[in-house]
Amino acid sequence: MKSALVIGSRGSQLALVQANAMADALREAATGLTVTIEVIHTKGDHIRDTPLAQIGGKGLFTKELEVALAEGRIDLAVHSLKDLPTELPEGLTLGAVPERETPYDAFVCERFHDVAELPVGAKVGTSSLRRQAQLLAYRPDLKVVNLRGNVETRVRRVAEGAVDAAILACAGLERLGLCESIRSTLPVDIMIPAPAQGALGIEVRADDAGTIEILERIADPYATAEVVAERTCLAALEGGCQVPIGALARVQGSRLSLTACVCSVDGKTVLKTQCEGAASDAVSLGQAAALQLLEQGAADLIAATR
C-alpha cells in the first residue's frame, strides 16, 4: 500500500476546507499514510469579473488540476463534483465519491425569509444560468445580476446591500461554517440543484491502483448512486456545467428517485421529469430521465445557450 499521497486543490477557502477534510478521511482510512496538499490555481479562479457562461469551455475549475494529475505532480485531485465535466481526459477516472453534503440551494438574504417575500424588482445575485432560469420561472419580476467571487465574498455582497439576496449552494456555506447565512433552503419544486451539487469527486489516474484502493475505503455507495444518475442524465443531454440543467437523485432504501429539468435562460420554458428505479440501476435511470427531457424538446433549449 502507498505510504504517501499528494492532493491537488484549488486555493479558495472552500476548496482547501474540502481538501483537508479528504486528507483527514484518508489518514483515518489508512493508518500511517502521509497526506499533503498542493494548491493549484485554475482558469476559473483567475477570471472573477465575467459571468461564467461568457467565459466558455468545460473544466474552468478543473483543467489545471487534471494536467498536474496526468503529469504525476499530484496523486489525486479533490473537486466540487458539480464542476467536473462528465467526460474526463484519457487516463483519468473518478476514484471515489465520499459522503454527500446537503445538495440543495440556499436563499441568502438580510431582510426576507424566502424568495416569495422579495419585493418586485429585487436584485438577486448568482453567476449560474441554472439558478437564474429557475428563479425567473418562479419570479419573473425579479432582477438577476451577476455575482462572482468566493462564497465569503458573495455573502458579504448581500450584507453590504449590493444585492437584495443571493442563491448559493447550501453545502459550501455549511462547509465554511456559514450556516447562519442560510435564511431558507429552496425546495426542489422551485430550484432543482446542479447535478452532483453537494458532492465531492476525487479524480485519479486510472492506472494508479494503489491510490484507488485507498480511495475505495472512503467512498459512499449512496452518494455514488445519486451522482451517477445525475451525471449520466447530464452527459446524455450533452450539457456542460453552465447549461441550465438541474438534476437531483435521492436514495431511499433500495430505490432511487431522480428529478431533472432543462430550462431556457429567461425562465419562460422549464421542462421537467421524474423517474424512479433501483438504486443499483443509476445509469439507466439517468439515461431514462434524459430521454424524457429530449422528447419534450430539451435539445433546442440546450442549443440556445451555446
Instruction: List, by residue number, the catalytic residues.
Output: 83
The distance from CA 143 to its chain's CA centroid, rounded to whole angstroms, is: 24
Q: What is the DSSP letter of 202?
A: E
How far CA 36 is from CA of 202, 207, 236, 249, in Å, comes to 15, 21, 36, 33
Number of H helices, E strands in the chain: 11, 13
**Look-up of cell digits 432582477:** 143
Strands of the sheet with 123-125, listed across from one edge: 143-145, 123-125, 165-169, 105-109, 184-185
The distance from CA 72 to its chain's CA centroid, rounded to whole angstroms, is: 26
Give the list of residues 6+ apart from residue 68 with CB closer than 8 angstroms, or none. Answer: 8, 38, 40, 74, 77
Interatomic CA distance for residues 170 and 108, integer angstroms: 10
Q: Which of 198, 260, 283, 211 is nearest to 18 (CA)?
A: 198
**Cell matching residue 133:** 432560469
